[in-house]
Structure 1
Amino acid sequence: MAPLAPDPEVTALLARSRRLGSDPRNTNYAGGNASAKGPGTDPVTGGDVELLWVKGSGGDLGTLTEAGLAVLRLDRLRALKEVYPGVEREDEMVAAFDHCLHGRGGAAPSIDTAMHALVDAAHVDHLHPDSGIALACAADGERLTARCFGDTVVWVPWRRPGFQLGLDIAAVKEANPGAVGCVLGGHGITAWGDTAEECERNSLHIIRTAEEFLAEHGKPEPFGPVIEGYGALPEAERRERAAALAPYVRALASQDRAQVGHFTDSEAVLDFLARAEHPRLAALGTSCPDHFLRTKVRPLVLDLPPAVPLDRALARLKELHAAYREEYAAYYTRHARPDSPAMRGADPAIVLVPGVGMFSFGRDEQTARVAGEFYVNAIRVMRGAESVSSYAPIEESEKFRIEYWELEEAKLRRMPRPGPLATRVALVTGAGSGIGRAVAHRLAAEGACVVVADMNAAGAAAVAAELGGPDKAVAVTVDVTSEEQIAAAFRAAVLAFGGVDLVVNNAGLSLAGPLLETSAEDWDLQHAVMARGSFLVSREAARVMTAQRMGGDIVYVVSKNSVFAGTGNIAYSATKADQAHQVRLLAAELGEHGIRVNGVNPDGVVRGSGIFAGGWGAKRAAAYGIEEERLGEFYARRTLLKREVLPEHVANAVFALTGGELTHTTGVHLPVDAGVAAAFLR
């Protein structure tokens, strides 16, 4: 049986949604929703029904697919008006949406479903454009809306999203037949149309008209004059300062639970923090519900110029953080009711540093990045509102009702369980190929953000792309014999993800040869890359980890050769023995900081190995008198288990040491050699 052709209304809805959602001027990530109404067939009776297709809970307009749509029967949705118990019990209506689903229903219906169902229009868009929210959050937003649009766009006073807001908008449309949409006080915009094209045109008309109004009527410097000494530092100095601050700021933001960080030094952020009005506006908090659900009710703002000594800035951040936690707990206490969800944590999601930029935090990199993007949206909203009026977000009590809404709590409960390495940031050297690539893949699969470090820039970039791109992994080019390049790699790591929690010393090479055929240059190179290189990487890792005060893991990919005295490979084996003892020394020294240091001892990893592919395999095969393609088989035959060791097996061992089960293990070497009795640890 041929698959059914997609419904034309659904096709048009998805195309419109993606166009609107892909432009940040129209709405923010995962913000807003769009819908279409049209005919369908009852799967039981075969009769005709009228359906609503609407973006489901938690989806993103810019990437919406049919699987992300909730599908409901309009007759049942409209019938809910007859049983609506009133605004005090409107949350009960969300559960009622499940009884309105058509067939299997698709995605979970969102709180905004009522808005789309009850408004008498075939197509409805609800969006969160900065220009529209600027009017919605202006002190005299109703007057400005009328001045901007006349009677074509109607003001709807603030109401928390829900069934009653849907009734309000439906009533406004019915009372204003010439209107194409409305501005929702403290929230966003809604537009409608008889066709998908008309609805999209009306949405864009509201957004662009508001933009033009603000540009034409707004004063040029709504944030006030620049504060002397608060201007942006030069770029190189700014990013150096941000990298120095990042581990300490992440430690503050992770007091309740570990967080991943993101750094932004966009012009919008730097200009805002340089201006005289930024302390007042930041204290008012963000506006649209989508904003403060991700940014928290307000940010933490450092009240010092960027030129102050680093230690003074850190001391002040610590003081401000303690005050922030007290204020947030007081905010919770002021508004919590007996049935409110428990406080989720009192640490800030946004930390603003004048002259430097913004640190944002979340449960993963995407969440952290999006939180920062939402605060940039909030800055633009403040700018627009202040340019034509004054910024007046919704009351704190209403913000609390949204932030600790049971429906939001239910959405959090539906989220997938995080992986065992979620919130952890891993830096893997030699990760552009072989064992390092396998380790990077395994750590990313278990939830870690990964910094793929390798001399081969193209190889590192390819692996980072394989792992999912910037929200999952970033590539850095680093020669581990260079202190400067190692320091730069860690700076890139903390700016990308906020810090570093897990380091894998994997970079290596082998120039095999017996004593009399080993040159001093061969000896020096192998010791520079593996013994000296892993020392330098571990030292930089320890600097970051001790600043974070969040513990950490350092894992050395060593070798069976570190304990097995074979022949014909003196330089490689000696430097591996050096690495093996570094594990013990660093485990002893760093334990007081909660940093565990362990080693993995592989042997005979031929397939996928960068070292073997680089010529060492041919030399070892020649030494054993076999063809190179049979080298892996040869190594397997000499093991107790008679199994070939692959890069993935080494990656499994790295995960076993860092994945959370061996929390009390440090200073250990874990063999991954399929059993080589001569290399048993004694």
Structure 2
Amino acid sequence: MVKPEEYHHVSYKWDDSHAAKLDPVDRLVYRSNLLGSDQRITNTGGGNTSSKVIEKDPLTGKEVEVLWVKGSGGDLRTSKRENFSSLYQDKLLGLQRIYAALPDNGLKTPAEDSMVGMFTHTTFNLNPRASSIDTPLHSFLTGKHVDHMHPNAIIAIAASSRCEELTEEIFGSEMSYVPWMRPGFELGLAMQEIEKKDPSVKAIMMGQHGFISWDDDDKACYIRTLDFIEKAANYIEGKYQANGGDATAFGGAKYQPLPAIERDATLAAILPWLRGKVSVQKRFIGTVQHDEKILRFVNSADAPRLAELGTSCPDHFLRTKIKPLYVAWNPQTEDAARLKALLEAGLDQYRKDYATYYENCKHANSPAMRDPNPTVILIPGIGMIAWGKDKSESRVTAEFYNCAVEVMRGAEAIDEYIALPQQEAFDIEYWLLEEAKLQRMPAEKELARQIHIVIGAGSGIGKETAHRLVKEGAHIVCVDLNHEAAEATAKEITDKYGVGIGVAGSGISGCGPAVGLRANITDRASIREMLDQVALAYGGFDAIEVTAGIFVPSDTTGHIPDEKWALTFNINVTGSYFVADEAYKTWKEQGLRGALVLTTSANAAVAKKGSLAYDTSKAAANHLVRELAMELAPLVRVNGVAPATVVQGSAMFPRDRVIGSLAKYDIPYSDDEETQSLVNKLAQFYADRTLTKAPITPGDQAEAYFLLVTERLSKTTGQIITVDGGLHEAFLR
């Protein structure tokens, strides 16, 4: 065994003092979390661990052996006790008799699939966690503790043309070999037979898949797993360096990466357009990666050949599809227009190739062909763009193709990389059990797959709107003149919903379901910079809610300075126009229907003393909604929300303005009174002037923004929804 301090390609994290405090099942969870926390050991959602534990049967009171194994759909890094299935080990072994009795008509899939349904009959103690298809692998091996991992170094050997020979050369008698088989009963029986023939074997290389190892001691099993990965990685690195190292990887460099400024400018120019092209059936969220390793691959001479071969490990292509789209663009001599042309042609050919793959491999009962667009796009000089239903999925897709790249690097260094045969790949991708799992997933939320830019999200209505939209599945770009306030709102969202998992992507801090950006809406250049950052973070956007505004009261003489008048119109009218005008350029490129909601006011319809600039600007904003609805149709629906006075949580009502308003309306107060008490008094005063007699909150306004950007009001444009509690003075007339 390798000493812990000698590991270079994995991390030894076992803590004896911590493990000693845990019961057997919690020790399994602990081991699993340690293994899953290192992406060099296994990918997100991949791999399985198990322990055979003596438990007391709740019915008989007798001691029985129970297999605890990671359940279906779990992730080792984050799994907890409830993510593991528990099954009677003797009943699992008894299923072998049922499998042997099934008719052998040369079609293994129906037999395999029927056995998965039998696992529920072996459930211990009514555990609701569904069992993984890998359960037989863990049950049929004699080891009390079993680890099945997908390390890049091991898969590089598994995905080489000389896998069996290399396994013996690298590991000798320590590891046996089994050719590619789909996970399930047949593979478990094949492993059982290997161990019966040679009881000294403690690991098996799984052709084009990964490896499995076991021991009767859980810590020894953990160390054994690390040892095999370390040995494989050392062998690959030795060959890699002997062949010339980085300079010769993937046949050497053919292209040079673009400077960061040029790269980001090119991406900002093409990403919304590209998002529109891949989102014909369903909208996708993008992740961009351009670190040294991915650039080394996309810039290499061998990238076109290797990309066309596709991935090898089943876990990889379930995310990345059968292959990525590689675009033969020369970053040194060709421009963004040429890149678009190449992408257009590449996407067209990719869809044709995917349809051919489906037609050639489908069975009579195969599910209908899924979206034929690529989920991974490789561009020399720029890097990789990955797509998914949300930011987390696109990051994981990127992570999986990173794994595929490392596998290809290792396989090419020691031998020759080979991909899984297309029929085998298809039978995994379109497996009926996988389809059933997809069908069981809950329906997507109303705003899923969408990116919403909320301008003014640092406080008040904007903050509340951001929280309302993310609750329905939207990704939120929190924008404010105050960058810290925007980031604070984004952090509230990511703290609640998480930032997801996977590679860092575009490098924008906190880029998960929300990100905080700064923009000055009176400055076109600032707006364009913000929109470009949104493209780099998510690939584009779907809707914009402008909640930013300013109120400048007249002075005691009823006069407002010229510069304050101009500022009011710049923010409340011109700023909204600038946002719409700049955003429409992107919306046109993207080609996906969008929505824009501006903020006006009940004051737009009611003349009031002391708010001349504000009221007039909001009347202009009302008409701006109607004009923009005409200009941006039919691609973008434009509507407005007209609040009455919202005091609670509004940045437009600092303490001094609240006090000024209380004094104006002769509402009793004291100078030392708490701010919240003052706010409540003023809010109730305004409420008492309405028909509903209830204070208007930012949440009331957020509900209107939500409705206007959903399909519920998909035929509504050029309209103003008033949320004022019932101000009869503002009734239309």
Q: Does 1:529 align with 2:571?
A: yes
| 1:11 match: secondary structure | helix
Q: 1:432 to 1:170 in 2, by over 3 A?
A: farther
Aligned residue number for residue 550 of structure 2: 509
Counterparts of 2:145 and 2:609, CA distance in 1: 77
Contact 1:512-1:616 at 8 Å conserved across structures: no
- Identical aligned residues as a percent: 40
Q: 1:32 to 1:614 in 2, by over 3 A?
A: farther
| Residue 254 of structure 1, aligned match among 274, 279, 284 | 279
Aligned residue number for residue 503 of structure 2: none
| Residue 631 of structure 2, aligned match among 589, 593, 596 | 589
Contact 2:558-2:610 at 8 Å conserved across structures: no
Contact 2:158-2:205 at 8 Å conserved across structures: yes
Contact 2:454-2:544 at 8 Å conserved across structures: yes
Aligned residue number for residue 183 of structure 2: 161
Q: 1:41 to 1:226 in 2, by over 3 A?
A: same
Q: Does 1:520 align with 2:532?
A: no
Contact 1:35-1:54 at 8 Å conserved across structures: yes
Query: Which deviates further from its counterpart, 268-277 or 577-586?
Result: 577-586
Q: Could you give the per-residue CA deviations for residues 22-70 of structure 1, whole angstroms, max 9, x where no partner exists?
A: 1111111111111111011222222222111111111111011111111
Contact 1:302-1:316 at 8 Å conserved across structures: yes
Counterparts of 1:331 and 1:31, CA distance in 2: 25
Aligned residue number for residue 6 of structure 2: none
Q: Could you give the per-residue CA deviations for residues 271-327 of structure 1, whole angstroms, max 9, x where no partner exists?
A: 111111000000000111111000110111211112422222212211111111111
Offset at 1:614? 6.5
Q: How does 1:86-165 map to 2 (within 5 A)?
A: 87-88=108-109, 89-165=111-187
| Residue 320 of structure 1, aligned match among 343, 346, 350 | 346
Q: Does 1:217 align with 2:242?
A: no
Counterparts of 2:353 and 2:21, CA distance in 1: 52
Q: 1:316 to 1:206 in 2, by over 3 A?
A: same
Aligned residue number for residue 700 of structure 2: 649
Q: Amino acid of the residue matched to residue 154 of structure 1?
A: S
Aligned residue number for residue 407 of structure 2: 381
Q: How does 1:580-619 map to 2 (within 5 A)?
A: 580-592=622-634, 594-613=635-654, 615-619=656-660
| 1:555 match: secondary structure | strand
Counterparts of 2:31 and 2:649, CA distance in 1: 45
Aligned residue number for residue 57 of structure 1: 72
| 2:386 match: secondary structure | strand
Contact 1:511-1:616 at 8 Å conserved across structures: no
Query: Which deviates further from its counterpart, 40-49 or 89-98?
Result: 40-49
Counterparts of 1:438 and 1:254, CA distance in 2: 29
Counterparts of 1:6 and 1:640, CA distance in 2: 64
Q: Does 1:44 align with 2:95?
A: no
Q: Does 1:300 align with 2:325?
A: yes
Aligned residue number for residue 8 of structure 2: none
Q: Amino acid of the residue matched to residue 612 of structure 1?
A: F
Contact 1:645-1:674 at 8 Å conserved across structures: yes
Aligned residue number for residue 567 of structure 1: 609
Aligned residue number for residue 459 of structure 2: 433
Aligned residue number for residue 531 of structure 2: 490
Contact 1:425-1:450 at 8 Å conserved across structures: yes
How many residue pairs were aligned? 675
Q: Could you give the per-residue CA deviations for residues 446-493 of structure 1, whole angstroms, max 9, x where no partner exists?
A: 000111111222222222122123321111122222323222211221
Counterparts of 1:371 and 1:479, CA distance in 2: 34
Counterparts of 2:198 and 2:711, CA distance in 1: 60
Q: Could you give the per-residue CA deviations for residues 413-441 of structure 1, whole angstroms, max 9, x where no partner exists?
A: 12221101000100101101111111001
Aligned residue number for residue 634 of structure 1: 685
Q: Amino acid of the residue matched to residue 521 of structure 1?
A: E
Counterparts of 2:469 and 2:721, CA distance in 1: 18
Q: Amino acid of the residue matched to residue 425 of structure 1?
A: I
CA RMSD of aligned residues (A): 1.6
Q: Amino acid of the residue matched to residue 331 of structure 2?
A: P
Counterparts of 1:236 and 1:178, CA distance in 2: 58
| 1:612 match: secondary structure | coil
| Residue 400 of structure 1, aligned match among 403, 420, 426 | 426
Contact 1:256-1:346 at 8 Å conserved across structures: no
Contact 2:331-2:380 at 8 Å conserved across structures: yes
Counterparts of 2:198 and 2:646, CA distance in 1: 74
Aligned residue number for residue 276 of structure 1: 301
Contact 1:111-1:161 at 8 Å conserved across structures: yes
Query: Which deviates further from its counterpart, 5-14 or 455-464?
Result: 5-14
Contact 1:233-1:355 at 8 Å conserved across structures: yes
Offset at 1:177? 2.8
Q: Amino acid of the residue matched to residue 80 of structure 1?
A: L
Offset at 1:7? 7.1
Contact 1:612-1:618 at 8 Å conserved across structures: no
Offset at 1:615? 4.2
Aligned residue number for residue 363 of structure 1: 389
Contact 2:158-2:206 at 8 Å conserved across structures: yes
Q: 1:614 to 1:56 in 2, by over 3 A?
A: farther
| Residue 671 of structure 1, aligned match among 705, 719, 722 | 722
Counterparts of 1:499 and 1:404, CA distance in 2: 30
Q: Does 1:475 align with 2:501?
A: no
Aligned residue number for residue 232 of structure 1: 257
| 2:690 match: secondary structure | coil
Counterparts of 2:364 and 2:414, CA distance in 1: 41
Aligned residue number for residue 24 of structure 1: 39
Q: Amino acid of the residue matched to residue 518 of structure 2?
A: T
Aligned residue number for residue 506 of structure 2: none
Offset at 1:613? 2.8
Query: Which deviates further from its counterpart, 235-244 or 177-186?
Result: 177-186
Query: Which deviates further from its counterpart, 553-562 or 39-48?
Result: 39-48
Aligned residue number for residue 492 of structure 2: 466
Q: Amino acid of the residue matched to residue 25 of structure 1?
A: R
Q: Amino acid of the residue matched to residue 255 of structure 1?
A: V
| 2:633 match: secondary structure | helix
| 1:678 match: secondary structure | helix
Q: Does 1:449 align with 2:475?
A: yes
Aligned residue number for residue 265 of structure 1: 290
Gaps in structure 2 of 5+ consecutive residues: 1-19, 500-510, 670-677
Counterparts of 1:272 and 1:52, CA distance in 2: 42
Counterparts of 1:428 and 1:176, CA distance in 2: 64
Counterparts of 2:317 and 2:565, CA distance in 1: 58
| 1:305 match: secondary structure | coil
| 2:322 match: secondary structure | coil
Q: Could you give the per-residue CA deviations for residues 553-590 of structure 1, whole angstroms, max 9, x where no partner exists?
A: 11112211222211111122222222222211111111
| 1:610 match: secondary structure | coil
Offset at 1:110? 1.1
Query: Which deviates further from its counterpart, 618-627 or 425-434?
Result: 618-627
Counterparts of 1:606 and 1:590, CA distance in 2: 33
Offset at 1:648? 0.8
Contact 2:330-2:381 at 8 Å conserved across structures: yes
Contact 1:68-1:106 at 8 Å conserved across structures: no
Contact 1:604-1:644 at 8 Å conserved across structures: no
Gaps in structure 1 of 5+ consecutive residues: none
Offset at 1:636? 0.7
Q: Does 1:416 align with 2:431?
A: no
